[in-house]
Chain A
Amino acid sequence: MQVLSQQSDTYALAAPVLFYALAALVVISAWAIVLSHNIVRMSFYLMLTLGGAAGFYFFMNAELLAAIQLIVYVGGTLILIIFGIMLTSRNPFMQLRPATWEVFVGVGLGLVLAGALIAASVATTIDTSHEVVPADYSAVQRIGHALLTKYLVPFEVAGVLLLVVMIGAAYLARTRAETPR
């Protein structure tokens, strides 16, 4: 009995510590993107933010989504962005600084939006009393089942969309040197 209560106490402390560590990582690196002027550093901070979001998904028992986030977002989209940075700047440490008033207006509007959203979040009245996850909960099984039943059409449409995007992106980004003028 003593051991059990100690375990649950440890868990009750571990969950908030983990959450606040991830939240600090996500929020600080996201606002570091806003305040940074170096595009390479911005992409590195974006990697930290995306990794923290993957940690949130693990925290919320969405382990398949966390794996997808790490593989597709951090391993795919972010690499694509870094490729874009390398291909579109003669100097990768090039800095395009916005005007000072633009920074103040942008950050000010962002803070106003954050305040409004936080006020709405704190006032939320959604019932979260039955938040207990069943012991045999498996997000992988549920997502796999939903993908082939309820979400079959969106799944297929997403596949067609990816094909269209692949062809379109390859067409848009092709080199022009070989085409006759």
Chain B
Amino acid sequence: MYENPVFNIGLMHFLIVSALLAAAGIATMLTKRNAIGILIGVELVLNAAAINLVAFNRYAWPDTIDGQMFAVFIVVLAAAEAAVALAIFLNYYNIFSSIDVEKADELSG
């Protein structure tokens, strides 16, 4: 039981979960017309990357802390990115009265 890869949780298990999480984020970004839905997809991809970094830190290089540090910075940058993105969406909503990204073609020729 200790040697069975199904029960012995390791690096690979976390990589598979974060692969499914990143794929869900990409699919969310591709299928949503609501701009905030696309932002939620970006958050999913960022979380998948952070889980990967922490898993590599924990299972491959447990005597360092670099993976967790990068994950901390990912959380900081995600908060900053969400704040700026929502400010832009708010401006866009004031102009177009909608946040449907299909309508954001004012500059297209």
- Write the residues of chain A forming the contact surface with B, with a CB cutoff of 8 angstroms: 12-13, 15-16, 19, 23, 26-27, 30-31, 33-34, 39, 42-43, 46, 49-50, 53, 56-57, 59-62, 64-65, 68-69, 72-73, 76-77, 80-81, 83-85, 87-89, 96-98, 102-103, 105-107, 109-111, 113-114, 117-118, 121-122, 124, 126-128, 130-133, 137, 139, 142-143, 146-147, 151, 154, 158, 161-162, 165-166, 168-170, 172-173, 176
Contact = CB atoms under 8 A, between A and B. Distances in A.
Interface of B: 1-2, 6-17, 19-37, 39-41, 43-44, 47, 50-51, 54-60, 62, 65-66, 68-69, 71-73, 75-80, 82-84, 86-91, 93-94, 99-100
Contacts of B19: 113-114, 117-118, 121
Contact of B90 (A12, A57, A60, A88): A88
Contact of B78 (A77, A139, A143): A77
A128 B60 contact: yes
Given A109-B30, A173-B87, A34 B24 contact: yes
The SS class assigned to the B binding surface is helix
Given A102-B30, A126-B56, A132-B62, A173 B79 contact: no
